[in-house]
Amino acid sequence: MGDGIFGPTMDLMRSEPMQLVQLIIPIESAYRTISYLGDLGLFQFNDLNAEKSPFKRTYAAQIKRCAEMARKLRFFKEQMKKAGLSPTKSLRSGDVDLDRLEVALGELESELIEINSNNEMLQHTYNELSEYKLVLQKAGELFHSAQNSVAAQQSELEAYNTAEASIDSALLLEQEMTMDPSKQVKLGYISGLVAREKAMAFERILFRATRGNVFLKQSVLENAVVDPVSGDKVEKNVFIVFYSGERAKNKILKLCEGFGANRYPFMEDLNKQFQIISQVSGRLAELKTTIDAGLAHWSNLLQTIGFEFEQWNFLVKKEKSIYHTLNMLNMDVTKKCLVAEGWCPVFATDQIQNGLRRATLDSSSQIGAIFHVLQTKDSPPTYFRTNKFTSAFQEIVDAYGVAKYQEANPSVYTIVTYPFLFAVMFGDWGHGICLLLATLYFIFREKKLSSQKLGDIMEMAFSGRYVIMMMAIFSIYTGLIYNEFFSVPFELFGLSAYGCHDQSCGDASTAVLVKVRATYPFGLDPKWHGTRSELPFLNSMKMKMSILFGVAQMNLGIIISYFNAKFFGDNINIWYQFVPQMIFLNSLFGYLSLLIIVKWCTGSQADLYHVMIYMFLSPTDDLDDNQLFFGQKFFQILLLLSALAAVPWMLLPKPFLLKKQHEERFQGQSYARLDSSDYSPEIEPHSVSHNHEEFEFSEVFVHQLIHTIEFVLGAVSNTASYLRLWALSLAHSELASVFYDKVLLLSWGYNSILARSIGLIVFIFATVGVLLVMETLSAFLHALRLHWVEFQNKFYVGDGYKFYPFSFASLGEDGE
């Protein structure tokens, strides 16, 4: 095959021929062999130890070792994320010794843990000292105000001949003014911080627990502080509780502990207060410098790790995947070789054998690996070689179901039919150009965008960029046929074929138009747009086009089923499924398509609804004005009889033929020669058990009955389903016309820049939001349904399973 602009041109019609291979690998070269096969990415290993627990397999210890290194790398990634760093893609590709890497990762983890531990301890101390400083400042303000209150009350206290009032009595002056000064006692106090949201509950419970025998003062902090315990910023209040007696003190301490209030010591002496504040401030400055230095060292260490992270991460994943694959291999009886089984494409045989020889040489093994093809009746995996252009179309098909091995691949046809059916519903070359510009942006920047995280929606659009490009190109084509550019017609391919013959042309009716020149060469004549006759004409044209496209695609599906049956040598399905299905479908809907084409070509006024209805109700009646060609009546009776005959043709012969085929095969196998070339010891037990299975005729007959009913009813419902092409095309055209006429032109009728600007903005947002996003998604989903249900159910089984080779290229970023 040649190379195209999108990479190698691949044969997508059938999946690649596959073979089941057995590899016998010497133990000394097993690691390198698996490594080379992983680089090649064309061998799918079968698990030969499925019955064994993962912990009892040969290389469980190595996998555990890799898992531990992967845990350390995840720890590094979390730390880098916490520091706002991201791993740098390393340009170096040199080999890294796994033993040295394990030691290096352990040392780096220990260093990071130590740095984090020291930083947490320093940060805890810093936060505690910060709170202590705030307590000293706020509590000092409370005591300072108390001293001023003492001086103001001296004159009142002289009448009682009391001693100099203490600071405590000033703070409790409201309760003690009527007391005998000689009976005053020394009060204790507790200071600290409590969360503001808990302050009211703290005060209320404190009052109840001590029966009101305490005095509480609080001061609100303007800014939130970092809590030393949780490390979170919390809004807090500074409090001082005055109490009398040890019993009250114990209750207060328990309440502080219960409410998470941090307690700090406090001195009454102002000089000591200033001295402690000065010491705390100096200590905070030292801690700040130490913490900053630790954070700088932490950041530098993480940056160093970030430069090597991608390489280390890939190496650990690679090692783990190699040992995981080695655990799928069997040890032979001599304990000197490993036995592997798996699937590979036939074209990869030479590449795999070259890799085996290379592994033998590099590991200095005296014995080479053995490559042996096994015979099997197991269904092989399905593998299509795709490129960046065809892969998106293949994903659309695989979302419905993976093709059975060697089954015809619908994606070959989907590359053309899918964007075309989308464009039939989305036909507007202005909107198509907008889609094309958007997808060209993705295509021209695909190398840069492929390495970025784009989000779910953008990632989906980027992965389907070539599908959208094809949809846009086909939309431009159908838009030119519909002659619509944001619903506005243009005379792109010449002048209109019609002109006015009087002044009543303003009535916007084609009845006053006459043909003055040759037919408009391509697409719809621009004069037809905006006339009262346009909608019925477009209705009729698009409805009939939808039927033609639907019948053509369903016929294509049945034809593909014929080639499928021929490829697998299934003559029963050729004669008793393909032939009657073609006869039934085309006797009815193929004939309807023929009538549509004949009517367009002849300009007949025949009523096709009447023709098709009375073809069933009164097939022998004369057609009169509805006759389109000579012999139509006889032809219709012949088609009707053919359609009726096709139903029992599909239903009855196939079950009996399958039964006969089963009996002949069983009889032939029972008396087969022992030296038959088809004999294979590996597959004989399976084939014997299979051949002795009884043939359930009733089950096969019921299945065929269901299949026949499904096809007969589906032929009607599927044809009707294609009318969605007509409905969505008209809806898209009418929506575009409404936005243009009722928004843009209406606002342009005002002689105001503001009104025109608002109208233009609304038109742009409506066009983008509704027509380019919602309508695109709607047409996309309807085209998807037409392919999955109406097209693929004619031939596609889709019960296969994908080929998943062991490949280092498939190791995802977060994969294990």
Q: Which two tokens stand for residue 59?
A: 């290389």
- The three state secondary structure string of 78-114 is HHHHHCCCCCCCCCCCCCCCHHHHHHHHHHHHHHHHH
pTM value?
A: 0.78
∠ CA 761-763-766, nearest 5°, is 105
- CB neighbours of 604 closer than 8 A, spacing ≥ 6? 598, 628
173, HSE (Cβ side, Cα atoms, 13 Å): 17
Average pLDDT (715-733) is 93
The continuous run of DSSP H or E covering 776 comes out as helix 775-785
Q: Which two tokens stand for residue 319?
A: 């090692």
In which band, very low, low, confident or very high, does the pLDDT at 675 lie, cut at 50, 70 and 90?
Answer: very low
d(CA 326, CA 58): 8
Q: Which two tokens stand for residue 310?
A: 């991608």
**pLDDT tens, 193-215?**
888 888 898 888 888 888 888 88
Computed from CA positions of residues 619, 622, 626, 632, in that sequence, does the dihedral angle turn out positive or negative? positive
In which band, very low, low, confident or very high, does the pLDDT at 453 lie, cut at 50, 70 and 90?
Answer: confident
If you ran DSSP here, which 8-state letter would residue 49 be given?
Answer: T
d(CA 495, CA 357): 72
Residue 7 falls in which region: left (phi positive, over 0), alpha (psi -120 to 50) or beta:
left
Residue 813 main-chain phi, psi, to 5 deg = -65, -40
Residue at token pair 């105001």: 752
d(CA 219, CA 142): 9
- CB neighbours of 70 closer than 8 A, spacing ≥ 6? 313, 316, 317, 320, 816
d(CA 384, CA 527): 49
Concatenating the DSSP letter of every residue in 573-599 gives: HIIIIIHHHHHHHIIIIIHHHHHHHHH
pLDDT at 604 over 60: yes
More confident of the two residues 615 and 665 = 615
Residues linked to residue 234 through DSSP beta bridges, in sequence order? 225
d(CA 480, CA 614): 38
**pLDDT tens, 677-705?**
333 333 333 344 444 567 888 999 999 99
pLDDT for the residue 812: 62
Average pLDDT (649-653) is 93
Contacts 24+ apart (CB under 8 A), 312-315: 312/73, 312/96, 312/101, 312/105, 313/70, 313/73, 313/87, 314/808, 314/811, 315/96, 315/98, 315/101
pLDDT at 158 over 70: no
pLDDT for the residue 145: 66
- CB neighbours of 651 closer than 8 A, spacing ≥ 6? 704, 705, 708
More confident of the two residues 507 and 11 = 11
pLDDT for the residue 669: 52
First vs last C-alpha separation in the chain = 36
d(CA 747, CA 674): 90
pLDDT for the residue 429: 93
Q: Which two tokens stand for residue 702?
A: 């019921």
Q: Which two tokens stand for residue 474?
A: 């086909």
More confident of the two residues 262 and 185 = 262
CA 144 to chain CA centroid, nearest Å = 66
Q: Which two tokens stand for residue 485?
A: 């550019």
pLDDT at 475 over 60: yes
In which band, very low, low, confident or very high, does the pLDDT at 511 lie, cut at 50, 70 and 90?
Answer: low
Q: Which two tokens stand for residue 509?
A: 């009716």
pLDDT for the residue 165: 45
d(CA 551, CA 539): 18
Question: CA dist 129 to 236, 252, 268, 296, 352, Å?
Answer: 15, 22, 19, 22, 68
Concatenating the DSSP letter of every residue in 658-710 gives: HHHHHHHHHHHHHT--TT-TT--TTTHHHHHHHHTS---HHHHHHHHHHHHHH
pLDDT at 186 over 70: no
d(CA 806, CA 373): 18
More confident of the two residues 636 and 135 = 636
Which has the closest alpha carbon to 341: 93, 732, 24? Answer: 24
pLDDT for the residue 448: 87
pLDDT at 373 over 60: yes
Q: Which two tokens stand for residue 636?
A: 């219709």
Name which of 259-273, 520-534, 793-807 the model is least confident about.
Answer: 520-534
**pLDDT tens, 291-323?**
999 999 999 999 999 999 989 999 999 999 999
Strand ranges, E, within 204-336: 215-220, 225-226, 233-234, 236-243, 262-264, 330-331
Cβ–Cβ < 8 Å for 726, 531: no
More confident of the two residues 701 and 539 = 701
Average pLDDT (167-182) is 49
447, HSE (Cβ side, Cα atoms, 13 Å): 1
Average pLDDT (278-283) is 88
d(CA 594, CA 603): 14
In which band, very low, low, confident or very high, does the pLDDT at 431 lie, cut at 50, 70 and 90?
Answer: very high
d(CA 104, CA 109): 8
Average pLDDT (79-105) is 80
d(CA 57, CA 41): 24
β-strand pairing of 233-234 with 225-226? antiparallel
147, HSE (Cβ side, Cα atoms, 13 Å): 8
Name which of 382-396, 487-501, 504-518, 778-792 the model is least confident about.
Answer: 504-518
Residue at token pair 């093809």: 373
More confident of the two residues 442 and 675 = 442
Average pLDDT (777-781) is 94
pLDDT for the residue 164: 45
Concatenating the DSSP letter of every residue in 269-287 gives: -HHHHHHHHHHHHHHHHHH
pLDDT for the residue 480: 92
pLDDT for the residue 504: 55
Query: How many residues are recorded in the chain?
Result: 816
Cβ–Cβ < 8 Å for 378, 20: yes
Q: Which two tokens stand for residue 383?
A: 């593998």
pLDDT for the residue 191: 85
CA 603 to chain CA centroid, nearest Å = 51
More confident of the two residues 435 and 503 = 435
Concatenating the DSSP letter of every residue in 400-428 gives: H-PPPTTPPPTHHHHHHHHHHHHHHHH--
**pLDDT tens, 742-775?**
888 888 888 889 999 999 999 999 999 999 999 9
Cβ–Cβ < 8 Å for 16, 386: no
Name which of 112-121, 329-338, 405-414 the model is least confident about.
Answer: 329-338
Residue at token pair 């790790």: 305
**pLDDT tens, 107-154?**
999 999 999 999 989 988 888 888 888 888 887 777 666 556 545 555
Q: Which two tokens stand for residue 203?
A: 């005060």
Q: Which two tokens stand for residue 164?
A: 């100099």
Across all residues in the chain, what is the average pLDDT?
A: 84
pLDDT at 674 over 50: no
Residues linked to residue 802 through DSSP beta bridges, in sequence order? 382
**Quick one: angle between helices 246-258 and 196-209, nearest 10?**
150
> What single letter denotes the amino acid at residue 164?
E
More confident of the two residues 384 and 514 = 384
Average pLDDT (102-111) is 93
* pLDDT-above-90 percentage for the chain: 46
